[in-house]
Structure 1
Amino acid sequence: MDRTGRGTGMSVAFRRESDDEHLEPKFELPIPPGPNLVTARGLALIGAKVAELESRLLTLTEEDAIKAARRDLRYWLTRQATAQPVARPDGSHVAFGCTVTFRMNGKTRTVTIVGDDEADPAAGLLSFSAPLSRAMMDAEVGELVDFSGKPEAIEIVAIEVGEG
């Protein structure tokens, strides 16, 4: 720079043509690894999400909102196309779709084992791919299972099968 603070012919390679070139790139929504197992309820929720996004796209006029909605729709269409509905379990052992009551660290909790997109741990819906679900899979009522490096850390108290 000269004494006036002006540039002295900086190379074009160091100048920005526009601020758009430096916006965060827009990535696709990540697809969870592994099979896309779903309960009947989970499959219905995916279908409802696709319908909602298709309807919303018809009303949008702002380009960024349209792009975001299309990205979301691509995710949900992929999840719908790859969904693998799982037959209703019989309740004889912990399986996908079961509601399991268990005791761990002196506390009794209940979770329902569902697909990745249906999971909501705060609501007691735990993904089948979660470590806790994987630890309990195939266990029967009264069985003690290892978890997080601790032998017999979980006691299976009850197994229920809902309508879904």
Structure 2
Amino acid sequence: MNKAFVKESDQDDEDDGIEGTEVALPSGTKNYITKYGYAALREELVHLVNTERPDVVQIVSWAAANGDRSENGDYLYGKKRLREIDRRIRFLTKRLEIAEVVDPSTQPNKDQVFLGATAVYIDKAGEEHTVTIVGVDEAEPLQGKISWISPVARALIKGREGDTVSLRTPSGMDELEILEINYPDE
């Protein structure tokens, strides 16, 4: 089929949307991240640049040499995957450049909740929760890692064991009692 009749773009689709795990930082705030989160993002960037991207480039080159690109699935998928990888590389590079790395093991006030702390609290329904306060780019709520800008983290930050803090929820105010605070050891 003639390329004139195929909707295909060789340009990066910058407006395709956000990757899914990328969260915008509130304006005027720093990109605080734990040293563990920074290392994980750095490791992902190195893997993309040194392993995954070269592999995809090799596949795209091979597929392009096979002739008609308009119906070549390897070529079309490879180009799309290459754009996704390049977009993620740009994102990671920017986020790592502006990162403010915090080492939670060196926190002087270990009796208060700050970035990197693991806090155990109980809500007014009597349910016990364990959360670790982490950077925006390392948050995984289903694993108990919540971003420092989340409502729960903001309520807990600067709290001490035994404190009761208020959390505004869609269903009204909730009271959280901080039971335990832990920081990672070196």
Q: Please report the TM-score for the alignment, with normalisation by the length of structure 2.
A: 0.71
What is residue 80 of structure 2 aligned with on the other side? Answer: 64
- Whole-angstrom distance in 1 between the partners of 2:18 and 2:145: 25
Which structure 2 residues correspond to residues 149-164 of structure 1 after superposition, within 5 A?
149-150=172-173, 153-163=175-185
For 1:19, what is the secondary structure of its paired residue?
A: coil
2:79 pairs with 1:79: no
Q: Which amino acid counterpart does residue 85 of structure 1 have in structure 2? A: V
Q: Which amino acid aligns with 1:150?
A: M
Higher Rg of the two aligned structures = 1
Shift of 1:31: 5.0
Q: Take 2:166 and 2:42, find their aligned partners in 1: how far apart are those partners?
A: 37
Matched to 2:113, the amino acid is V
Give the partner amino acid of 2:53: L
Question: Does the CA-based 8 Å contact 1:31-1:75 persist in structure 2?
Answer: no
Q: Give matches, 1:47-62, under 5 Å.
A: 47-54=42-49, 55-60=51-56, 61=60, 62=78
TM value normalised by structure 1: 0.80
> Is the CA contact 1:36–1:82 (under 8 Å) kept in the aligned structure 2?
yes
Question: Of Structure 1 and Structure 2, which has the larger fraction of its residues in helix?
Answer: 2
Residues 119 and 28 of structure 1: CA distance in aligned 2, closer, same or farther (over 3 Å): closer
Distance 2:183 2:87 in 1: 35
Name the counterpart of 1:19.
7
Cα shift readout 1:27-67 (whole Å, capped 9, x = no counterpart): 46555213211111001001111011102111112211111
Residue aligning to 1:42? 37
Query: Which residue does 2:156 correspond to in 1?
Result: 136
Cα distance in 2 between the residues matched to 1:102 and 1:126: 14
Aligned partners of 2:23 and 2:136 also within 8 Å: no
Residues 25 and 136, structure 2, Cα contact 8 Å, conserved in 1 = no
User: How far apart in 1 are the matches of 2:18 and 2:121?
Assistant: 37
Percent identity between matched residues is 24
Q: How many residues align?
A: 146
Amino acid at match of 2:24: P
Give the secondary structure class of the aligned counterpart of 1:92: coil
Pairing partner for 2:25 from 33, 45, 48: 33
CA contact (8 A) 1:28 1:71 kept: no
1:87 positional shift: 3.8
Q: 1:31 to 1:121 in 2, by over 3 A?
A: closer
Letter in 2 for 1:59: D
> Which runs of 5 or more structure 2 residues have no equivalent in the other structure?
61-77
Q: Residues of 2 paired with 1:124 and 1:31: CA distance?
A: 17
> Alignment RMSD, CA only?
2.1
Match of 2:117 in 1: 98
